[in-house]
Each structure stands twice: as C-alpha cells, then as structure tokens.
C-alpha cells in the first residue's frame, strides 16, 4: 500500500569529489522522484549565467586606431591579437570592480599570459599565447578589466569606454563546464529515489565550489521575491542557507559516525538513528541510555566533536524544529512499512 505523505523526502547526503584541477563532482541524495531534475536544471543555468568572473572590456594600443588595423613589428594583426587576448583569463587581486593596467614590451619577445601579471591582476592561465614582436618593435597597450557575469557584447560597451579605447566582447563567465546526471537510488526498498551528480569545471578565476555556492545564493535571492507577498521564509542570505546545510548534516545517519558495533547497536536499540538525536541530547541523557558503557560514551562524544556537533550543543529553534519534524516523519514512515 502506497503511503500518504504530507511533505517530500528531504535529502540527507552530499558528497564532493575532486576529479581534476578546477573540476569537481558534487552529489546529493536521496530525492523524491522528479525532484532531482527540478533542482538541477535551474542550478546548471545559474552556474553559467550568475557566476562572477573577470574580463577585459576595452583596450587602447599605441599607434592603433581600430581593431582591423595592423601594427609594424608584430606577427599578428590587431584582430588576431584581440582574439588571443580574450583567451587570457584575468583575475583582479583585490575587491575592486575595475582595474586599469598598462603594459609595455620591447622585442624580440613572445608574449604570454605570464607576462601580463601585475600588482593589480593575476593571470590564471599563464601559458596562454598573446603575440610575438620582432627585435625593433615596441608594444604599448592599456587594458580595462572589470568584474561581471555572463557575456556582454562590445556593441553594448562601446558608448561607455573612453575615447581611444577599442571596446571588446566581455566573456565574464568562469564556468567552463556544468553538467548533471540523475541516477536512481534505493531507499528502504524503494528504487525510485534519485541522486543528482553535478560535474563543475571552472577556468581558475574561481573554484568550482565557489561557483556552485554562487549559483545557490543566486537561486535563494531570486526566490526571495515571494517572501513579502506570500509570507514564506525562502533563504535569501548566508544565515538561512547555513541553517539549511546544518539541518542536512543533522539528519545524517549515525552510521556515518563510524562507531564500533557495540556503540552503534546500543544507539540502535535506543531508537537513535540520526546524528541530530545525539546532538540534541545532554551528556547526562546520553549516559542514561541502557547498556551504554563509559568507553562507548567517550567514543560517541569524540565522533560528535569531529563532525562539529558536540553532545549538548545548542541550535537555533528553527533548526531544532525542522530536524525533529523530519525525524518524526522518518519514524512514522518506518512504522507504516
């Protein structure tokens, strides 16, 4: 007989696996059927569209009047020089929104991204090629680099740059790859639960984890438009987001603590199945558990300390309420089965 539910199953597990430099896999599970893709699709879009990056928006080259010009002594014409420049990924070193950087090179020289490092900006792909100048050439240029999101075409920027500068197409997005897979996963003999696995790769301006966090924050902020009208509490800043993360961790199975069989069996007989039940208990309450010896008590306390939830911890009321509600739902579901 199919159970009647009043709320969707809340995922309790998250895994992060580094698979290469600037590339990670992020997995979360178990989701009710259909919920994984509902979450994953907008997050993927936001990873590309809302992750903050850096890009040159304009350039002024001494002796050059337009992007289809050529320069004496440089192997590349200006158009190819600009194409190469767009492949170099800048990062402003402080919290500034804009950096104006001047460069001067004399030949003979092959110029790469490493040569563009300065006190204002860092190049995250230093091996990227820019241009080659011969022995009697001098290349002087100024770049305007800004922080932004998405893609902004040069036509939009043309009216805002200073005279003498050539506006550039700005490719701010630092996310090179954001894909997800949905896998079926077994939960209490039900094979229809789902696991979402994200693969996120960035160019190094930000880490994949920072990009993922940025996308989540953007989602919370967009959803918060409904708060005032509908009187709901959609997380819109770091504090609610952190609370949601804390709830998820507190709903982990006690199996995740890696306890000895003796300690685990004692908790199981007492009906304690998730970490939150231990975290909400005082040490005196824990000591009162039947057949829990001193050695097991110390083992449990140590394990809880290691995951950041010492026995007897205090939590915000909304976290306690959310965890206790879900624990009761889990116990009810187990009884019905």
140 forms beta bridges with 104
Residue 130 has a pLDDT of 96
What is the model's pLDDT at position 236?
A: 43
pTM: 0.64
Name all domains of the chain by residue range, CATH numbers in brackets. 1-51+174-234 (3.30.1360.10), 54-171 (2.170.120.12), 237-337 (1.10.150.20)
Nearest Cα neighbor of 266 from 245, 297, 231, 242 is 297
Those residues with Cβ within 8 angstroms of residue 2's Cβ, 6 or more apart along the chain or in another chain: none
Per-residue confidence in pLDDT tens, the chain, 337 aa: 466 667 778 888 889 999 988 999 999 999 988 999 999 999 999 999 999 999 999 999 999 888 888 888 999 999 999 999 999 999 999 888 999 999 999 989 999 999 999 999 999 999 999 999 999 899 999 999 999 999 999 999 988 888 889 999 999 999 999 999 999 988 877 888 999 999 999 999 999 999 999 898 888 888 877 765 555 544 444 444 444 556 777 888 888 788 888 888 888 888 888 888 888 888 888 888 888 888 888 888 888 888 888 887 777 777 788 788 777 776 665 555 5
The answer to whether the bond into 225 is cis (omega within 30° of 0) is no
Nearest to 200 by CA among 31, 60, 47: 47
Dump the DSSP string for 127-142: T-EEEEE-TT-EEEEE
Tell me if 204 sits within 8 A of 51, measured CB to CB.
Answer: no
**CA distances (Å), origin 295, targets 287, 298, 309, 310, 327:** 11, 5, 19, 17, 27
- The pLDDT assigned to 3 comes to 65
């Amino acid at each position: 007989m199919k159970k009647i539910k009043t709320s969707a199953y809340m995922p309790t597990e998250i895994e992060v696996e580094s698979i290469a430099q600037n590339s990670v896999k992020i997995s979360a599970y178990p989701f009710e059927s259909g919920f994984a893709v509902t979450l994953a699709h907008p997050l993927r879009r936001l990873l590309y569209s809302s992750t903050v990056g850096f890009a040159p928006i304009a350039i002024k080259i001494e002796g050059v009047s337009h992007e289809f010009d050529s320069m004496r002594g440089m192997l590349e014409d200006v158009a190819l020089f600009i194409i190469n420049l767009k492949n170099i990924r800048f990062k402003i070193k402080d919290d500034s929104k804009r950096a104006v950087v001047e460069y001067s090179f004399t030949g003979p020289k092959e110029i790469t991204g490493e040569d563009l490092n300065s006190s204002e900006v860092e190049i995250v792909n230093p091996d990227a090629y820019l241009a080659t100048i011969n022995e009697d050439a001098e290349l002087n240029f100024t770049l305007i680099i800004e922080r932004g999101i998405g893609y902004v075409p040069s036509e939009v920027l043309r009216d805002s740059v200073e005279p003498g500068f050539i506006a550039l197409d700005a490719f701010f997005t630092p996310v090179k790859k954001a894909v997800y897979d949905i896998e079926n996963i077994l939960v209490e003999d039900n094979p229809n639960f789902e696991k979402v696995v994200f693969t996120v790769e960035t160019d190094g301006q930000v880490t994949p984890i920072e990009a993922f966090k940025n996308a989540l924050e953007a989602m919370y902020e967009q959803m918060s438009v409904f708060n005032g009208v509908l009187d709901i509490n959609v997380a819109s800043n770091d504090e609610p987001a952190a609370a949601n993360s804390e709830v998820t961790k507190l709903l982990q199975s006690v199996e995740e603590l890696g306890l000895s069989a003796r300690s685990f069996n004692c908790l199981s007989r007492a009906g304690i199945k998730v970490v939150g039940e231990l975290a909400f208990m005082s040490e005196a309450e824990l000591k009162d558990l039947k057949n829990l010896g001193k050695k097991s008590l110390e083992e449990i306390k140590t394990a809880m300390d290691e995951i950041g939830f010492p026995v007897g911890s205090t939590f915000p009321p909304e976290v306690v309420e959310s965890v206790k509600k879900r624990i009761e739902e889990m116990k009810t579901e187990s009884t019905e089965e």
